[in-house]
Amino acid sequence: MKPLIFAIGGKTPKIHESAFIAPGAVVCGDVEVHENASVWYGCVLRGDSTSIRVGARTNIQDGTIIHVNHEREGAAGTRTTIGADITVGHMALLHACTLEDGCFIGMKACVMDGVVVESGAMVAAGALVTPGKRVKRGELWAGSPAKLMRMLTEAELRYFGYSSQHYAELAASYRNA
């Protein structure tokens, strides 16, 4: 089984040769996946009306859905931009949002239109970040709807770097298997 990668509306995904796209993943339309990034089993990245960008060494874990919003007046956000060195936990939903380099998104989190998660910020597992919110550096947001729960510890912030590096190495082992 191979990943399903195809064009939509004349836009073909651009996948860096060092990236890992797992069998069973779907990547279509205006999507870029940068060096040493990984998109794991059962993920869907659908850039059908605007763009999705996945930065270097970012891991999009199993079952995650990433989509965009069509351009229209009053839209909270349209593109989905995911920076470098980010972990996106299993079964997350990212919709027309911006994740800055080095943030962390927990399993089954939902990050909605126009949300910005700053570098060094975390959205907890199961959280629902409603449209237009900004999760600031060093903050942990949790709940549904999500709100600031507390500031992150230094150990938690260090783990973000470990996680992205670990997944980059794991993806390389899968790519070279």
Interval 74-114: pLDDT, tens: 665 689 999 999 999 999 999 999 999 999 999 999 999 99
Whether the pLDDT of residue 70 is over 90: the answer is no
Is residue 177's pLDDT more than 90?
no
CA triple 85-149-104, angle to 5 deg:
10
Distance CA 67, CA 80 (A): 7
- Domains of the chain from N-terminus onward: 4-175 (2.160.10.10)
Query: What residue type is 154 in one-letter code?
Result: E
d(CA 57, CA 70): 27
pLDDT given at position 43: 99
- pLDDT tens digits for range 119-170: 999 999 999 999 999 999 999 999 999 999 999 999 999 999 999 999 999 9
Distance in angstroms (rounded) separating the CA atoms of residues 69 and 60: 19
Taking the C-alpha atoms of residue 146 and residue 128, their distance in angstroms, rounded to an integer, is 5
Q: Which two tokens stand for residue 70?
A: 């069509």
